[in-house]
A and B are shown apart, each in its own frame.
Chain A
Amino acid sequence: MSFIVAILNQKGGTGKTTTTINLAAALAFQGHRTLMVDLDPQGHTTIGLGVEPDSFKESMAEVFTIPKKSIQDVVVPTYIPKLFVAPATIHLAQAAEQVYSRVFREAILAQALKGADFEFVIIDCPPSLGVLTTNSLYACDFIIIPCQISRYSLDGLADLLTTIETVKSLGLEELFQGDHFRILLTMFDKRNRVTNEYILEQLKPYREKTFATPIMKNEALNQAQIAQKSIFDYDPKSSGALDYYQITAEFLEIWQKRNNLPEKRPSLQSCR
């Protein structure tokens, strides 16, 4: 059975796509058969690893508009062995409009993922709290919330936690006690001391629910987007590669604990 993870924050530009691509790539490099689901009509996860929009006929738009359409029908391989993507195009935005009239519209993705033959499914969500995001929340086992060090990100986080609580039908205690989510600090810049201090103080109650590794601001991560490669291929010695390796290790630890599996750290070498 797949472990389904939603990379989610309704605020734009927090690093959702970068996290989706590099976490999924690291998992695939560790030998795990992994699927990225692009739920953002901008389609950046799709093109992020070099899958061109004219190279596939069907995408997530069809999954959302054709009843009982399986995600397996739209999956395409990436250049990384064991890593696949369910692609998206701008048509997904129109498809999302259409599903508002469907019954059980929140469960379309969960239904489409049934029987998917992947160890990990990583969903890149759009920067909104609409029907696509609700679908990912409904389908997922775990949520990663990339969060920039900014005041507006904290406000966004508050809205998001309220939405998670509602969609997952969790009480406050349950939301925290169960292992449902982790906050991932992104684009962290040590030089912004005053802002960092304020934001980290605000996040203090959530320290147990925050990945210990922040993703430092790193130009190589931007350059890897242009090269349409994972950071491990583009610049394996960059701080971005090391940060995402650490995040993968922390993530796998959570997964291993959940499934009562023996603890095994990923190999940095296999991330190239």
Chain B
Amino acid sequence: MAKKKQFAGKKTKLAELPLTRVLEQKAGDEAAWEELQTSGATGSRQLLLSLERTGEKAAGPLAAAYLQVLEELTVLQADLRPDTASAPNHELQPRTALPPAPSLLQALRQAREGLQDLHRLLSE
């Protein structure tokens, strides 16, 4: 038998540790988020970011990320068109904890700054 095949089903204590399971779950959520970022297919985007999915427990961090996107867009709208800016929409407050990925927040901020630059260039 091939050496690697003999590893099948052999579990380590580390694999069974609750922390490892939490991290694996998190990695799954992050992978879904990365897939969303790189995916050009509108269909899959709608599937992942549909409001229905925000109600699912497993989509907690994803839902939070979705709401964060909406918040960032609201800030952008207020920056670009202060005359039409409305009071903060409290319905957009994330109800779940944000995913612990500073890179996500950074990417969102960079995206907003990019859009602001684009708007400035188009306005000139």
Contacts and interface: CB of A to CB of B under 8 A. Distances in A.
A145 to B, nearest CB: 12
Interface stretch (A15-23, A85-93, A103-111, A152-160): A152-160
A161 B20 CA distance: 10
B19 A157 contact: no
Contacts of A197: 4
B89 to A, nearest CB: 28
Interface string A196-224: 01100011111000000000000000000
A125 to B, nearest CB: 20
Given A176-B22, A204-B27, A198 B15 contact: no
A151 B100 CA distance: 29
Contacts of A161: 17, 19
Interface string B14-47: 1111111011101100000000000000000000
Given A194-B3, A194-B4, A205-B27, A155 B14 contact: yes
A155 B22 contact: no
B13 interface: yes
Contacts of A256: none
Contacts of B3: 194
Interface in A143-187: 151, 154-155, 157-159, 161-162, 165, 172-173, 175-177
What's the dominant secondary structure at chain A's contact region?
helix
A103 B24 CA distance: 40
Interface residues of B, number: 18
Contacts of B84: none
A158 B23 CA distance: 14
Interface in B59-89: none
B47 to A, nearest CB: 26
A158 B16 contact: yes
Given A177-B100, A194-B3, A194-B4, A202 B14 contact: yes
A176 B19 contact: yes
A205 B12 contact: no
A254 B26 CA distance: 22
Contacts of A175: 19
A184 to B, nearest CB: 16
A207 B26 CA distance: 12
Contacts of A151: 12
Contacts of B19: 161, 165, 172, 175-176
Given A161-B17, A162-B17, A194-B4, A202 B12 contact: yes
Given A151-B12, A157-B14, A172-B18, A205 B23 contact: yes
Nearest to B3: A194
A162 B18 CA distance: 9
B22 A202 contact: no
A176 to B, nearest CB: 6
Centre residue among A154, A172, A194, A205 by max chain B CB count within 10 A: A205
A145 B47 CA distance: 41
Given A155-B12, A161-B17, 6 more contacts: A154-B12, A154-B13, A158-B20, A194-B4, A198-B7, A205-B27
19 contacts: A154-B12, A154-B15, A155-B13, A155-B14, A158-B13, A158-B20, A161-B17, A162-B17, A172-B22, A173-B100, A176-B100, A194-B3, A198-B7, A202-B12, A203-B14, A204-B27, A205-B20, A205-B23, A205-B24
